Amino acid sequence: YKNPNYEENRRTMVHLFEWKFADIADECERFLGPMGYAAVQVSPVQENLIISKRPWYERYQTMSYKIETRSGNERLFKQMVRRCNKVGVRIFVDVILNHMTSNKIPAIGTGGSTALTTDKEYPAVPYSKVHFHKTCALKDYSNATEVRECELLSLHDLDQRQEYVRQKMVNFLNSLIDAGVAGFRIDAAKHMYPEDLEIIYGRLKDLIPGQGFPKKSRPFVYQEVIDLGGESVKKSDYNKTATVVEFLFGRILGDAFRGIRQLRELETWGDSLWGLLPSRDAVVMIDNHDNQRGHGAGGSSILTYKTPKQYKMAVAFMLAHPYGFARVMSSFDFNDTNAGPPNDSQENILSPIINTGGTCTNGWVCEHRWPQIYNMVAFRNVVADAAITNWWTNDDDQVAFSRGNKGFVAFNNGNTALRRWLTTGLSAGRYCDVISGMLSGGRCTGKTIDVNENSLALIEILPNDLDGVVAIHGKAKL
């Protein structure tokens, strides 16, 4: 379950948080496919509890496994998967297996189902009290049994040891595979036993060849296990056969680009020295839908779209560096951390509107459409598996490195100018910096950088430049 099933020359997934299925399908065709994105993570598709004022987090309270949420119904879901697969963009679904809802009377779902939550009766599955662990509140993260068997945030905790429960989950996941999805984010995996999850994964179908997957492809699985150290449940309990979301990644890089650490420290960035999972086991991001708003873990270290200069540098570093399976966050704008996505007076989610410049409005941030980000998605595709070479640092907050002879990046997060001849690894010629602009119709809309016969280029990044990074690669040569 560690192969993301990406099409060749695609390497980055984007989380289109709370987007509607029809909009995702459009986005696959008009933007993600052409720009080289590999996959979309969609918000939970299973029917959820309706909570007043429609906070984003209602989607993490499950009423049934019917595909019907504010993002759309089963028909629209299937259409989206087909249209995205057709343009080479895979769909990963965020699935909630750990729990159903917490108590609420009355409880009505986005698909019209009802439940008697105080009795743990969910007739639309159906689940009843016997399918859950006994009620207890999860308070002590140093006690692994409590983490797995008590209620996270008062959410009724399903017992995956039971055959009946597992089979309901397997059926749900297999129905998504039938629709053509390529994998799953396992929400709150930390709160389930890894051996139970293994059994569930083992019963999943192969991906369906009809939508472009090679025969015998297994679904990609990435499990949400927050492990910043010091707790009883560890990420290393989960990476035997499937991958895990590496939460240390965004916390450390957040600190680095906030100036709490120095960039020069990142020379050794990668797995073991830093306590990170092996690269092939780790899904990584700068921020996610939780920690961009203070939920989950990472606290004030986490960078988001709200501090754009540092954020773009951190995302550029993630995409320039070979470690992990990278995920780009795509947000809606918020001030209230509970607020749901932009919606109309009937509480229907609004579609993003695309400006002529390609950015989004109507309440959507669309970080994935920021040129500094999508051009680095292309950079990651171009440099592929080339190793890091020519690491350079001023021993402070300026660093640069090559990806073999395929690409080169430099960062200046300090207060002094970077103006220096650096080895790029690239062949001689004139390149277009894909951060300040891009190659368009044979012309560079940003800075150009000349690489000489010795592979050296004069690299300049001033402290008050709009962007603290420059990047060039073999496919942006003039």
Residues of this chain that bind ligand AAO (CB under 6 A): 57, 60-61, 96, 102, 141, 152-155, 187-188, 190, 224, 226, 228, 231, 290, 295-299
**C-alpha gyration radius of the chain:** 23
Q: Shortest approach of ligand AAO to residue 392 CB, angstroms?
A: 33
- Rounded to the nearest 10°, the torsion over CA 235, 237, 239, 244 is -30
CB 463 to ligand AAO: min, Å: 30
Please calculate the CA angle 239-240-241 and round it to the nearest 5 degrees.
95
Q: Which of the following is catalytic: 18, 27, 146, 187?
A: 187
State in angstroms the smallest separation of the CB of 428 from ligand AAO.
Answer: 47
Query: Minimum distance from CB of 166 to ligand AAO (Å)?
Result: 19
Of 12 and 48, CB closest to ligand AAO: 48
Q: Do residues 210 and 171 touch, judged by C-beta distance below 8 A?
A: no
Catalytic status, residue 385 = no
Q: Is 224 a catalytic residue?
A: yes
Instruction: Give least dist CB 62 to ligand AAO, A.
Output: 8
Question: In the complex with ligand AAO, which residue's Cβ is closer, 291 or 381?
Answer: 291
Using the Cα atoms of residue 456, residue 457, residue 463 and residue 469 in order, give the sign of their dihedral.
negative
How many degrees, rounded to 5, is the angle at CA 280 between CA 279 and CA 281?
A: 90
Nearer to ligand AAO, 12 or 61 (CB): 61
Which residue's CB is nearer to ligand AAO, number 188 or number 204?
188
Closest CA to 247 of 227, 232, 270: 227
**Pick the catalytic residue: 18, 151, 224, 255?**
224
Give the pair of three-digit tokens for residue 159: 């017992």
Closest CB to ligand AAO among residues 299, 429? 299
Nearest distance in Å: CB 208, ligand AAO: 28
Assigned token pair, 334? 């918020």
Contact 329, 13 (CB under 8 A): no
Least Å from the CB of residue 123 to ligand AAO: 20
Residue with Cβ nearer ligand AAO (68 or 397): 68
Which one-letter amino acid corresponds to residue 452? N
Amino acid found at 222: Y
Residues 6 or more apart from 75 whose CB is under 8 A from it?
none
H-run or E-run covering 448? strand 448-451
**Residue with smaller CB distance to ligand AAO, 108 or 458:** 108
Q: What is the DSSP string of 45-111?
A: -EEEB--TT--GGGGGSEEEEEEEETTEEHHHHHHHHHHHHHTT-EEEEEEE-SB-----SSEEBTT
- Residue 37 contacts residue 10 (beta carbons within 8 Å): yes
Residue number of the CB closest to ligand AAO reads 60
Q: Torsion angle of alpha carbons 186, 190, 195, 199, nearest 10°?
A: -20
Name residues whose C-beta falls within 8 Å of residue 185's C-beta, 6 or more positions apart in sequence: 41, 92, 93, 94, 95, 222, 223, 224, 245
For the chain, the distance separating the N- and C-terminal CA atoms, rounded to the nearest angstrom, is 41
- Minimal distance, residue 313 CB to ligand AAO, in Å: 22
Distance CA 351, CA 342 (A): 8
Distance from C-alpha of 455 to C-alpha of 385, rounded to nearest angstrom: 20
Task: Considering the complex, state which of residue 103 and residue 174 has its C-beta at the smaller distance from ligand AAO.
Answer: 103
Residues marked active site are found at: 187, 224
